[in-house]
Amino acid sequence: MTGAPFSPRRRRAIASTILVASCVGLGALALTGANESVTFYLTPTEAIDAGRLDREVRVGGFVVEGSLDEGDSRSSLVLSDGESDMRVVYPGRLPDVIQEGQGAVVVGSWGADDVFLGTEIVMRHSNEYRAPEPGS
């Protein structure tokens, strides 16, 4: 038993519904994928203003000159965004790439005495490539 073919109006309605549903689905996938691939971080000012959050956060800034204090079991540094400074304590030695005056992103959470306890340090770098100087 074959049914009557859909009218042109009904076919357009079905096609429009499928098109809208597809666009919504693709848009949702794009937004979800974009959020997962972009790593956001707070500046020290934003982290201080936000106060104690009950979760790990990323804080990015520049390592203040003279603030690196390294030990075998515990190290510390101060991150700044030019407006606020934030003391960070890190278990163990700091990665070799961390230098004063350079950018860094620290993953961690607030501890006692308003100290940020870092669990991971990531080097923040420019997206600009500079060729090495000749002879270096």
**pLDDT tens for each residue of 48-69:** 888 777 788 899 999 999 999 9
3-state secondary structure of 15: helix
Cβ burial, residue 47 (10 Å; 0-12/13-18/19+): buried
Quick one: fold of 44-123? OB fold (Dihydrolipoamide Acetyltransferase, E2P) (2.40.50)
133 Cβ contact partners less than 8 Å away, ≥ 6 residues apart: none
129 is in an annotated binding site: yes
Q: Give tens-digit pLDDT for 68-97.
A: 999 889 999 999 999 999 999 999 898 888
Report CA 34 to chain centroid distance, whole Å: 12
Would you state the pLDDT for residue 17?
92
Q: List, for residues 6-45, the tens digit of each pLDDT value.
A: 788 888 989 899 999 888 888 887 776 655 555 588 899 9
In this prediction the pTM is 0.63
Compute the average pLDDT of residues 122-136: 64
Task: Please state the domain extents for the chain.
Answer: 7-38, 44-123
Among candidate residues 107, 113, 74, 69, the one with its CA nearest the CA of residue 90 = 74
